[in-house]
A and B are shown apart, each in its own frame.
Chain A
Amino acid sequence: MNVFLEIKNIKKHFGEGESRVEVLKGIDIEIEKGEFCVLLGPSGSGKSTLLNIIGGIDAADEGYISINGEKTADMNEKALTLYRRKHLGYIFQMYNLIPNLNIKENIEVGAYLSDNPLDVDDLLKTLGLYEHRHKLPNQLSGGQQQRTAIGRAIVKNPDILLCDEPTGALDYNTSKEILQLIEDVNKKYGNTIIMVTHNDAIKQMADRVVKLRDGMIRKNYLNETKLTAEELDW
């Protein structure tokens, strides 16, 4: 196995004394380049915390994250920012678009961070947003806004795309559209994708499924019967 992202013995707690909660109790995962990994689990299982640690926006108490041999634990704030700039793209449940920039400009905000970004107009066409490129975020539907957020994340062609409940705020059809888009991106650009979700059905489109509960991995397996986003149903 050619390990691209190594998650080694990650532990994390919140609070102190009586209110201390062990959120992650030693997580080990190895992910290959281009793999689509889904992190599943109920609320409080620690999946978003793990995603944030992978994303370098939260720090682990113990253990390390290594991307291509670069360990995030050894990095200071400046290096972590550079790490995120170079390797990561983020998609959140709330789209967090900049309200006074139009759709194209919101994507350019991501492109600016890369030395070798994707062509913004091509990407807008891929995302089905080309006709809306001059509109402001509040003029678009939730699905279109999330597509813009995806565009902003992938335009810099990141090694890893971190998705935190990307369909959490969307209806069934729009959710499927977004999942299809993420699938297309994964295929077209070969990014490693780590997606946190509540939705159990989504695991069917993943290469790897990691189930978390109470801060521990309950299951970590490769999905042999992968479905396309189109085929998903819930």
Chain B
Amino acid sequence: MKNPLIKRLPRELKGEIGKYIVLFLFITMMIGIVSGFLVAAGSMSVAYDESFEKYNIESGNFELLQKADDDAIKKIEDGEEKIKVYENFYLDKETKEVDSTIRLFKNRKDIDKICIMDGELPSADDEIAIDRMYADNNKLKVGDSLTVGGKKLKITGLVALSDYSALYSNPSDMMFDALKFGVAIVTDTLFDDYGEADLHYSYSWKYDKTPADDEEAQDMAEKVMKHINGISMLTQFIPEYSNQAIHFTGDDIKGDNTMITVFLYLVMVIIAFVFAITTGNTIAKEANVIGTLRASGYTKGELVRHYLATPMIVVLVSAIVGNILGYTCFKEFAVKAYYGSYSLPTYKTIWNADAFIKTTVVPLIILFVINLVMLVNKLSLSPLKFLRRDLKKRQKKKAFKLNTRIGILKRFRLRVIFQNIPNYITVFVGILFANVIIFFGLGMKPMLLHYQDIIEDNMISKYQYVLKMPAETKTEGVEKYCSGSLKTVDDKLKEETATIYGVKENSKFVHADIKDGGAFISDGYAQKYNIEVGDEVTLKESYGDKKYNFKVEGIYDDPATIAVYLTDSDFIKTFELEDGYFNGYFSNTKIKDIDDLYIATTITKDDLTKTSRQLILSMGSMISMFATAGVIMFMLIVYLLSKVIIEKNSQSISMTKILGYNNREINSLYITTTTIVVIASMLLTVPIVNVTLKYIFKVAFAQYSGWMPYYVPAKIFVEVPLLGIVSYAVIAFILTRRVKKVPLDEALKNVE
């Protein structure tokens, strides 16, 4: 015979249909979104991993100051590590129709091959195939015209370049820029027509023998670098494993995968506690029935299984529906988000066992374990205790003493709080977690905008020119400076580029009292690496082993960069350069009298704000989604748990009604307590969330090059609790209706 208690399950679901529908929808949405994300990320990840072989992605690339002749190439190829070198020259050109820089390549036939996403490769000298994502972000399509470096070209195709899945224009950038930087393919003739002014002598190489792992790849790359350095003058050397344009996409997809999975697990833990508390309330309500069943011979296990069934069924069905939605609807959101950020090749949806385990098996295990522990604990009482409705494990010897000078209504409220401490702890934790999400949702954009502002405010000059070789200008108000780059040396954080400036004493642009023999470091450097005045920083050569130590004499107010500031004479001394050496200008006006041939880079506001711009672009839709999810979660948790409090006290509420209390007075006893706890939780959690997010940001951004300071505008500290209070007002309204509905005869039920 099947256990007849099974028949209760559909009725139980029907009996509390509102609660279960809300939970079902919330869990389904969460699992659906996460499943969609994981399926998309998994499928993209496979396409990305396969692209290394499919498109023959380079083992690395290097740039030389001048074109290497055949002999030099032969020598480079015949080093200790045997490599094959391919020309992969490029030109960086400004575009007219959109405010951007586009990097032009000739068609690559052997290395870093191209994936044609739409249209075709250019065949005529007035045609161009541009990166698909750059086209999307700038609303360009096949057939449109784009003026590149003064030449009007017709877009014939949209492509993905396998070595530019993340559009990093510079390997030391904190973030790629898919809006103002793109890559493109033109015919060989057109490429040559552009001349040599902006030409970069970039070469890609491929090892004869593929390195087994990153460690071996690093050893091999170092040998190659030293070998090339002995033959020609390197201006850039990027092994594949450290090329963000190639690797950032894969790392980010995997990182997203972990982040969103942890997010789901945390949500599930909270939901499991919500189920545990509401089931605990059901057990309390059905204590006499449980006592009778246990007295009749039902085992604890049978009852545990019975009470576990409903939450498990709800989560199982949610997981199944969520996964179906994940594979169908939600996947597209994630795909859109990835295609909006990365220039990925075409992908195929692949069944993802890992996503299924993470979104179905693990949530069920979380729910099962938390509820099992609660049920075993609750149902371990003797049948007699259930029959007597005596559900306390330990009998309280005395009632908790409260000062009698406190008014009776206040004491009553305090007793309600003490009676419901587990519910209120869960409410607190739930609000804490929901606030993290809301805070992130509301605070991310202002933080990125603030980052843009501080960059603008702290820009040394409107135009910062880096020269290939010294060149003079007659432009007024300019100031010469020296610059170079070194690599950071840190055990915990990954190696990154630090810019070393040599500026004039009493510089008009760098407002710091830098003296010979002492260095200033940027605020960003100090914050990221926890450096203080008086410390010594060690940096090493980008393409060598030589180390440099700088004694920090001051912090320069530039929170967004990793930089060291020396006097120009110290710079020259440190790097053993000729007296009078300089390689750049600070200027607030555009320098027009220096030939482009001499200019390596011009740094403007747009270059410095690309990180925030890209993050706003990539995360824009997700940011609002986070805030909405946080509010829904907040309302769900607070509503379900405060409803439990009303249900648990329905007999007392009924009795107070019989005694003559009116609804307003009863609300002040039972709903005001929840209101106090919710408001207190809102106010207490905001600073905790702020500190937590600050820490999370510090850890998260430590993985990136550069630095983004944590910032939350003051209004967020008001908006988040206000949003919570407004949401709670809706809940409180529903709760007052529930209190009103408690019948007078409730007090007479089940009283033995």
Contact = CB atoms under 8 A, between A and B. Distances in A.
A97 B297 contact: no
B384 A57 contact: yes
Contacts of A183: none
A81 B752 contact: no
Contact of B384 (A52, A78, A82, A152): A52
B299 A78 contact: yes
Interface in A131-173: 152-153, 156
A94 B294 contact: no
B656 to A, nearest CB: 24
Interface string A39-59: 000000000000010010110
A101 B296 contact: no
Contacts of B750: 94
A93 B7 CA distance: 26
Contact of B297 (A82, A92, A96): A82
Nearest to B383: A57
B296 A152 contact: yes
For B4, B12, B288, B752, which residue has the most chain A Cβ atoms within 10 angstroms? B4
A48 to B, nearest CB: 10
Contact of B295 (A82, A90, A111): A90
B1 A109 contact: no
Interface string A78-121: 10011111101110111011111100010011111100010000
B294 A81 contact: yes
A12 to B, nearest CB: 12
A175 B292 CA distance: 21
Nearest to B750: A94
Contacts of B15: 100
Given A52-B384, A57-B382, A81 B7 contact: no
Query: Which of the four size classes fits the interface of chain B?
Result: 20 to 34
B752 A85 contact: no
B289 A97 contact: yes
A29 to B, nearest CB: 20
A153 B296 contact: yes
A96 B286 CA distance: 9
A12 B399 CA distance: 27
B293 A94 contact: no
For B12, B289, B292, B296, which residue has the most chain A Cβ atoms within 10 angstroms? B296
A81 B292 contact: no
Interface string B295-328: 1111110000000000000000000000000000
Contacts of A153: 296
A88 B297 CA distance: 8
Contacts of A78: 299
Contacts of A77: 300
Nearest to A106: B4
Nearest to B298: A113
B292 A90 contact: yes
B292 A96 contact: yes
A94 B382 contact: no
Contacts of A58: 382, 384
Q: Is the interface of A mostly helix, strand, loop or mixed?
A: mixed
A62 B298 CA distance: 26
A141 to B, nearest CB: 16
Nearest to A97: B289
A122 to B, nearest CB: 16
Q: Is the interface of B mostly helix, strand, loop or mixed?
A: helix
B291 A101 contact: no
A88 B296 contact: yes
A112 B299 contact: no
Contacts of A93: 752
Interface string B579-602: 000000000000000000000000
B387 interface: yes
Contacts of A90: 292, 295-296
Contacts, number: 87
B7 to A, nearest CB: 5
A104 to B, nearest CB: 9
Contacts of A92: 288, 292, 387
A112 B295 contact: no
Nearest to B299: A81
Contacts of B96: none
For B2, B295, B298, which residue has the most chain A Cβ atoms within 10 angstroms? B295
Interface in B383-400: 383-384, 387
B296 A110 contact: yes
A94 B750 CA distance: 8
Given A94-B288, A96-B291, A96-B292, A84 B297 contact: yes
Contacts of B406: none
Interface in B715-736: none
Nearest to A81: B299
Contacts of A152: 296
A55 B5 CA distance: 23
A85 B296 contact: yes
B8 A98 contact: yes
B295 A84 contact: yes
Contact of A105 (B4, B12, B291, B298): B4
A89 B296 contact: yes
Given A57-B384, A111-B1, A100 B8 contact: yes
A153 B292 CA distance: 10
B3 interface: yes
Interface in B264-299: 286, 288-289, 291-299
A100 B11 contact: yes
Interface string B362-398: 0000000000000000000011100100000000000
Contacts of A117: 1
A34 B291 CA distance: 26
Contacts of A105: 4, 7
B294 A109 contact: no
B483 to A, nearest CB: 77
A112 B384 contact: no
Contact of A109 (B5, B11, B387, B752): B5
Contacts of A83: 297
Contact of A81 (B11, B12, B291, B297): B297
Given A81-B297, A81-B299, A94 B3 contact: no
A101 B4 contact: yes
Contact of B752 (A57, A94, A111): A94
Contacts of B1: 108, 111-112, 117
A97 B383 CA distance: 15
A156 B299 CA distance: 16
A127 to B, nearest CB: 17
Contacts of B296: 84-85, 88-90, 109-110, 113, 152-153, 156
B294 A57 contact: yes
Contacts of B286: 98
A89 B298 CA distance: 12
A96 to B, nearest CB: 4
Nearest to A49: B384
A86 B5 contact: no
A100 B12 CA distance: 7
B295 A55 contact: yes
A152 B1 CA distance: 15
Kindly list the 5 A-B residue pairs having the minimum CB-CB distance in the complex, ordered from nearest. Answer: A85-B297, A96-B292, A108-B4, A84-B297, A100-B11
Interface of B: 1-5, 7-8, 11-12, 15, 286, 288-289, 291-300, 382-384, 387, 750, 752
Given A57-B382, A113-B298, 7 more contacts: A57-B295, A94-B288, A96-B288, A99-B289, A101-B4, A101-B7, A109-B296
22 contacts: A57-B291, A57-B387, A81-B294, A81-B300, A84-B296, A85-B299, A88-B295, A88-B297, A92-B292, A92-B387, A93-B752, A94-B288, A96-B292, A100-B11, A100-B15, A105-B4, A108-B4, A109-B5, A110-B296, A111-B4, A113-B296, A113-B297
